Amino acid sequence: MLNAAKLTFIISFVFCFMPLSIFAGDKSSETIFFLGSGSAETPWTQLVSQGFVEKMDRSGVPYSFHIDHLEAARFDEVHQYDLMFRYLKEKFAQKEPDIFVSAGPAASNFSLRFPELFAGARRILIQSGDDGSANATLIDAEIEHLLMIREMIRLSGPSKVFIIGDSVQPSDKLRLGGITSALEHENVSYEILVNKALPELLAAVSELPDESTIFYAPIFRRYEGKDLAPAYVLKELHQASRSPIFSSSDSTLGFGMVGGYLYSPKKLGYMAGEAAHSLIRGGPIEFTQNGFGYTYDWNEVIRWGYEDLISTKAEVLFRAPSLWQQHKGKIILTLLSLCLLLLLSTALIFINRQLTKTKNVLNKERLLLEERVQERTQELSLLHKQAVEMARIDVLTGLPNRRAFFEQAEIVHYQTERYHNPYVVLMLDIDLFKKTNDTYGHPAGDKVIQSVAKTIRSLIRKSDVAARIGGEEFAVILREAEHDHFYSLAERVRHEISEIPVCFEDDQIRTSVSIGIAEYQAGDKSIDDILCRADKALYQAKQTGRNKVVIDPVCV
């Protein structure tokens, strides 16, 4: 169980020791002092410190960063050194730096000259040449003049090299010396345009002979009331010049310098950062890179036609990305869309083909079906026609039946009324037919009926109408018949039937017909009127002995 006293003790303990632990964390952060040879505006120093800070930030080590500049180019060095020494002593009186980085020959010289300044600090020198002290880590910023000059000669093949530089500072002199001895080593003639004001320089470079090459050792110039940093001086020179310009530092790339074997201030800064990180961690100092390499400005490479000469492993700046690099995403998306479109089109074509195939099959089937329907319709229509005809024809004799007779008779009657063409009706009835049937049998009777029909048909004209209108009863309409004609015709029919026996099996059957004749009379309303009179005449023929022709008295 926690009592109040114990709780108070724990809380007090936490509150007392917490600030101490925070302070301890703060104490573990390293203080780094960075001293540049030039001024705060010097691009070289800016790039080195930038590289240093970037590397330190990436290392994840906690540190506090302080930067100062010796401004060695503006002041007398020794006098400046004493002033700077006192200033820094005072500035870091409370807490001296753990690491002292000096960038450039002047700052490194200063660092080595005052070992008593920040005596406990680990020193990193970024300078060219000798380290000068066993207590300092050297980042060698010595320009490899020979490699640099050889690369320049290889690319531009100059007949003469014009060196632009200053000889004010010892470091400037050192640099010019390195360049000239490298050119002498390579047997290339040269001329130094040294310590010249900018207008003089611009005039000089504008009149250089063909096949000249300019080597630019970075210089500061005051021009038209402005302080021009080396990069901007180079820009002016580049505009005035008709010759390619080479230099030693990539900090001036992009202002008209071609490139070549260069040192990179930023990379030197990275190396210093790596060294500082190793010092803090207490491990061995190993650099993953050096501060030199082949670097080119692609615009200048193209301008001077060096595309095929530069090393394939070189770093090329400002090269416009290829169409592929620029629009990679869009190109891939377009290609994918095209593929998809192609796939869809293929699928559609396939589906369309299948549909067309199915449609063709269906069409064939439909045509076949239509053909069958047509055939069937024709068949049905034929059957219908036959059925209609059958309904009008007497099956036994092949003559029109009673119904057909009355249809035709109606037409004949109508035509007679309209055109006054008279017609005659013959009513025929086989005599004593019942007896024939009874004597010879029904099939024999049928044969007799057929024979009578045949005789009638053989004797009348095609325009006349003969029909079987009852069991053994026939009617004939004779058109435009004269009195003599229709009577003699009736007589001939009667005569032939009675004279010519009908052969059936072994029998010779004799038969006869009675005929009643009536003629159309004006006032007859229909065929029935004439038939009625013909029927009466027939009745009379029957009554008066049969096998005879009787004419309706109205006709006579």
* Contact residues for ligand GTP, defined by CB under 6 A: 429-435, 437, 442, 445-446, 449, 471-472, 542, 546
For residue 53, give the amino acid letter: V
Of residues 292 and 433, the one with the C-beta less far from ligand GTP: 433
523 vs 545, which CB is nearer to ligand GTP? Answer: 545
In terms of DSSP H, where are the helices of 304-441? Answer: 323-326, 328-392, 402-419, 433-440
All residues at 6 or more sequence positions from 515 whose CB lies less than 8 Å from its CB, including other chains: 426, 427, 428, 490, 493, 494, 538, 541, 548, 549, 550
Q: Is 278 or 540 the residue whose CB approaches ligand GTP more closely?
A: 540
Q: Are 137 and 123 in contact (CB under 8 A)?
A: yes
Residue 497 beta carbon to ligand GTP: minimum distance, rounded to whole angstroms? 13
Residue 409 CB, nearest approach to ligand GTP (Å): 21
Beta carbon of residue 508, minimum distance to ligand GTP (angstroms, whole number): 17
Q: CA distances (Å), 309 to each of 152, 156, 157, 292, 533, in order? A: 11, 10, 11, 19, 137
DSSP secondary structure, 191-248, as one string: EEEES--HHHHHHHHHTPPTTEEEEE----EEETTEEE-HHHHHHHHHHH-SS-EEES
Q: How deeply is 13 buried, as exposed, middle or buried, from its count of CB atoms within 10 A (0-12, 13-18, 19+)? A: exposed
Residues β-bridged to residue 519 = 424
Q: Dihedral (C-alpha) 198, 203, 208, 212: value to the nearest 10 degrees?
A: 20
Least separation in angstroms between residue 430's CB and ligand GTP is: 6
Which of 364/442 has CB closer to ligand GTP? 442
Question: Per DSSP, which regions of 70-194 are E strands?
Answer: 99-103, 122-127, 136-140, 160-165, 190-194
CB of 436 to ligand GTP, least distance (A): 8
Among residues 305 and 471, whose Cβ is nearest to ligand GTP?
471
Q: Coil, strand, or helix at residue 364? A: helix
350 DSSP assignment: H
Q: Decide: 429 and 473 in contact? Cβ < 8 Å.
A: yes
Contacting residues for 42 by C-beta, under 8 A, at least 6 apart? 36, 69, 229
* Minimum distance, C-beta of residue 405 to ligand GTP, in the bound complex (Å): 16
CB of 472 to ligand GTP, least distance (A): 5
Closer Cβ to ligand GTP, 263 or 474, answer by number: 474
Nearest approach, Cβ of residue 546 and ligand GTP (Å) = 6
Which residue, 327 or 434, is less far from ligand GTP as judged by CB? Answer: 434
Nearest distance, CB of residue 417 and ligand GTP, angstroms? 33
Give the residue among 533, 524, 552 at the shortest CA–CA distance from 412: 524
The residue (of 376 and 434) whose beta carbon lies closer to ligand GTP is 434
Contacts of 436-441 with C-beta under 8 Å, sequence gap 24+, read 436/509, 436/511, 440/504, 440/507, 440/509
Please, which residue, 89 or 542, has the CB nearer to ligand GTP? 542
Is the CB of 448 or the CB of 551 nearer to ligand GTP?
448
CB of 415 to ligand GTP, least distance (A): 32
